[in-house]
Amino acid sequence: IKRGQYLKLLLLFCGAGGSSLSPALKEFPPQQRVPLSPELSQRSSSFSGSQRCVLEQYERIECGEAGIASDECEDISCCYDAQGCFYGKAVTLQCTRDGQFVLVVARDATMPHISLDSIHMLENDPSDLCAPVGSTASFAIYQFTVSSCGTRMKEERGFVIYENMMSSAYEVGVGPRGSITRDSSYELKFQCRYSGSAVEALVVEVNTVPPPPPVSQNGPLRVELRLADGQCSTKGCSDEDMYTSYYSEADYPVTKVLREPVYVEVRILERTDPNLILVLDHCWTTSNPESLSLPQWDLVINGCPYKEDPHLTTVLPVAQSGLQYPSHYKRFVVKMFTFVDQSSLAPQQERIFIHCTTSVCHPSTTESCEPSCGSRTRRAISEDLKDSEEKVVVSSGEVILVPHLPVSDNLADKEGIKKSMLCFFYFIFMQ
């Protein structure tokens, strides 16, 4: 298991084939399903009303044989309602007595969503035996024998164990001083055990590590960096509406998944001169408190979003925000990410610090102190501003990336792994 990541070992029953998994699935002789132990059955049934079973009718894929009862449906990790038994928004593994894996992968099994086209097993046979046997916009269905796709066999205490690994690719953004990704790093290790007289099911879960306590540090200037809580009580809220309230010290740590917007505000403290204008010259991130350390990822350059980031930072206007001194504020929105190792491109589970070089600008008849993100070069604008600025530097508190599963997934079920990397934010007031 990679440092800071969580991996569920999913080992499921070897049950009947012949169930109506999908019209595209291969057929095999009907056989009796093996019931789970009472403990596992109870865990599985506890998800019957969870969000994983909320699917539109057109998205559903039938699970189990026709007329299957609700308890039997839940025993095989599927969802049940008045319309019948169907696969939920998860990764469902089923094993058959004739030696086949059946995996049904839901696009919504993780956040961000799994890229179904990027999933692969340990090995891909040239005959496409490891490719999906059926797929929709929401699901990919795999069915292959336990002797293919790189499956490994071992013996343990009278059992023959077949084990494989499924993983998804992720997109990496490469910058001049660092690399990041906003995609989930997804892996599923699954296995089936066979014995001469019985079929057993086993689920092993690694619990989430408790989040560390918040950390704060005084900054060198009277500038505050704070995080808006993003609450919206009306329909059709905009980014500006998210700044109506802010997290207090008691609210930390705050959790955000990859790609979820983070609403940041920087403001001048204890100044009442309406002619002062706060300028964000350069904002970037590092993996430790040293602002010049590597790797780095730029967010804002000369007041404008870093153009090489496919998920551009959004700099929000504040002139019409209703603030008493709108020129004392700067607001921007970042979609969360994690650094990746420069050589292996593997996602790194480590701290992120946000740094900004800020300026207090005094406007004049020749300088408005406002950046231009159009055709005029940013370097020329920056040099113009330097003539009338008092430059200061401000850094955020630490942002700690912690992999975390939704609460419902802390129960040991047989759905597979959902690797949603969550971010714990510890922003502070810089003075």
Distance between CA atoms of residues 236 and 192, nearest Å: 48
pLDDT of residue 398: 63
Of the candidates 170, 221, 188, the one whose C-alpha atom is nearest the C-alpha of residue 101 is: 188
pLDDT at 214: 44
Cβ neighbors of 135 (< 8 A, separation 6 or more) are: 24, 116, 141
C-alpha dist (Å) from residue 22 to 18, 63, 199: 10, 8, 24
Which residues in the chain show pLDDT less than 70?
1-50, 196-221, 233, 252, 349-350, 374-391, 396-431
Q: What is the pLDDT of residue 225?
A: 78
Residues contacting residue 362 through CB under 8 Å, at least 6 positions apart:
275, 276, 277, 369, 388, 389
User: Is 398:373 a contact under the CB 8 Å cutoff?
Assistant: no
In terms of Cβ atoms closer than 10 Å to its own Cβ (0-12, 13-18, 19+), residue 275 is exposed
- Within 8 A by CB and 6+ apart from 3, the residues are 349
Write the CA distances from 15 to 77, 157, 231, 385, integer angstroms. 12, 21, 46, 71
pLDDT for the residue 196: 62
Buried b (16+ CB within 10 A) or exposed e, 368-380: ebebeeeeeeeee
The architecture of the domain spanning 9-204 is Sandwich (2.60)
Give the amino acid at 328.
Answer: H
What token pair was written down for 162?
């077949």
pLDDT at position 18 = 36
In sequence order, what DSSP letters do the residues of 157-212 get, joined into one string?
TTEEEEEEEEE-----EE-SS-EEE-S---EEEEEEEE-SS----EEE-PPPPPPP
pLDDT tens, residue by residue, 41-94? 333 333 344 688 999 999 999 998 888 999 999 888 899 998 999 999 988 888
Q: Which helix (H) or strand (E) holds 380?
A: helix 378-386
Contact 353, 425 (CB under 8 A): no
Separation between Cα atoms, residue 404 and residue 417, nearest integer Å: 11
What is the 3 state secondary structure string of 10-24? EEECEECECCCCCCC
0.85 surpassed by pTM: no
Looking at residue 380, what is its pLDDT? Answer: 43
Q: What is the pLDDT of residue 402?
A: 56
CA distance 217 to 231: 27
pLDDT for residue 24: 34
Cβ of 326: how many Cβ atoms within 10 Å?
17
Locate 376 and state its tokens: 């005029």
Kindly state the tokens that stand for 180. Answer: 């990041």
CB 405 within 8 A of CB 6: yes
| Fold match, 9-204 / 223-430 | yes
From CA 217, how far away is CA 38, in angstroms rounded? 51
Q: 223-430 is classed in which CATH architecture?
A: Sandwich (2.60)
C-beta separation of 262 from 240 below 8 A: no
Q: What is the pLDDT of residue 84?
A: 92
**Domain ranges within the chain, ordered by starting residue:** 9-204, 223-430
**223-227 vs 304-305, strand pairing mode:** unpaired
- Give 387's Cβ-side CA count (13 Å radius): 10
